[in-house]
Amino acid sequence: MPQLLADITAAVAPLVGQGRVADYIPSLGRVPAARFGMAVAMADGPVYGTGDWQQAFSIQSISKVFSLALVMSHDYDSIWKRVSREPSGTPFNSLVQLEADRGIPRNPFINAGALVVTDRLLTLTGDAASSVAGLLRTEAGNPSLGIDATVAASEAEHGHRNSSMAHLLASYGNLENPVEKVLEHYFNQCALEMSCEDLALASRFLARNGVGSNGTVFLTPAQSKRVNAVMLTCGTYDAAGEFAYRVGLPGKSGVGGGIIAIVPGKCSIAVWSPALGPNGNSVAGVAALDEFTTRTGWSVF
C-alpha cells in the first residue's frame, strides 16, 4: 500500500493545482491550490497515507454523508418522505430544481436536501452540528477535531443562495425548525476541519457494513448499503456519472477539495486537493481515486 500511494501521488502530480479553488466562500479561496493528500483506512487494519494526508481542511459537503447516516440511525426511513434519492443532474446549489420539484429536494447530498436532513437532525438531537462533530470525533478517534469558525462565518455572510433555498423549503412546509437555525447548523457542519486520515477513519463504518470504530452497530448492513448507494448515484452532483465511470465507487465530494470513497468490505479512502473542476469536485482527487481503483481493481464493478 505505501508504494501504491507513492505511485499514485507521482501519477497525479501534474494535475495538482489544476482547476479553481472555491472562492464563493471567501475564506476557502485563501487555501493554497498546490496541496495533495490521500489516506486509506483498511476495514480492519491500519491507515496508510501520502502527501498532506494529516493536514486539516474544510470538509464542506462531505459532512452531508454523516448527517444522513445519523438521521437514518435515529429514524430509519422517515427522511425519505421529505427528500428523494435520485441524481440531480444539476449543480449542487440549484434553486430552479427545488422549485420544479415543489420543495422536495432531489437527493440528500445537494444543498437543498442536506438542509432538510440537517433540519431533521436538529429535531432529533437538539444540536445537529454537534451531533455530526461528535460522530466524527468518535469514529476518527480524534477528540480535537472541530469547526473553523472563520469558514462558518464566511459561509453565513455569503450564504444568500443557501438562505434562499432554506426559505423556499420553508415555503413548501419542508422545514421543522426556523430557517436561521437550520442554516447555522448547516454552515457549522460544513465548516468542520479534518485531515484525510481523520476522514478515512470516520467513514470506515461504511466499509464495515455499518459497524463503528468501537465494534458496535451504528448502521444496519441495509442502511450502510443504502448510504453507499446514494453516494454512488448522487455524491458528486452532476458529475456522478463521470465519477462512477472513472472511479467505480460510492464517493462524496466537498468544495474544500476533499473526497471520500468507500470500497465495501475492504477500505475507506479520503483524498484532498483544493483545486476543483467545473462541477465542484477536486480534479487531482478524482484522478487519484481513478488511479487507485484502476491499479488495484478494487471497485464495486
Check if 237 is active-site: yes
Q: Residue from 119, 139, 155, 198 that binds ligand GLN (CB under 6 A)?
A: 155
Task: Please tell me the distance from the alpha carbon of residue 138 to that of residue 170, in angstroms, as a whole number.
Answer: 33
Residue closest to ligand GLN, measured at CB: 61
Is there a contact between 258 and 216 (Cβ–Cβ < 8 Å)?
no
Q: Pick the catalytic residue: 211, 230, 237, 271?
A: 237
At 50 the three-state DSSP class reads strand
60 binds ligand GLN (CB under 6 A): yes
Confirm whether 255 is a catalytic residue: yes
* Minimal distance, residue 59 CB to ligand GLN, in Å: 8
148 lines the binding site for ligand GLN (CB under 6 A)? no
Q: How far is CA 258 from CA 59, 135, 193, 200, 285, in A?
A: 6, 18, 11, 11, 7
Task: Among 19, 264, 274, 280, indicate the residue that binds ligand GLN (CB under 6 A).
Answer: 280
Q: What is the 3-state secondary structure (H, E, C) of 95-127?
A: CHHHHHCCCCCCCCCCHHHHHHHHHHHHHHHCC
Which is closer to ligand GLN, CB of 45 or CB of 89?
89
Task: Establish whether 172 is a catalytic residue.
Answer: no
- Residue 119 vs 155, nearer CB to ligand GLN: 155
254 touching ligand GLN, by CB under 6 A = yes
Cα separations (Å) of 183 from 186, 192, 215, 274?
5, 15, 33, 24
- 105-144 positions binding ligand GLN, by CB under 6 A: 111
Kindly name the residue from 21, 132, 151, 186 that is annotated as catalytic: 186
Q: How far is 35 from 170, CA to CA, in rounded Å?
A: 39
Binding site residues, ligand GLN, CB under 6 A: 60-61, 92-93, 111, 155, 162, 190, 254-255, 280
> Catalytic residue numbers?
61, 64, 186, 237, 255
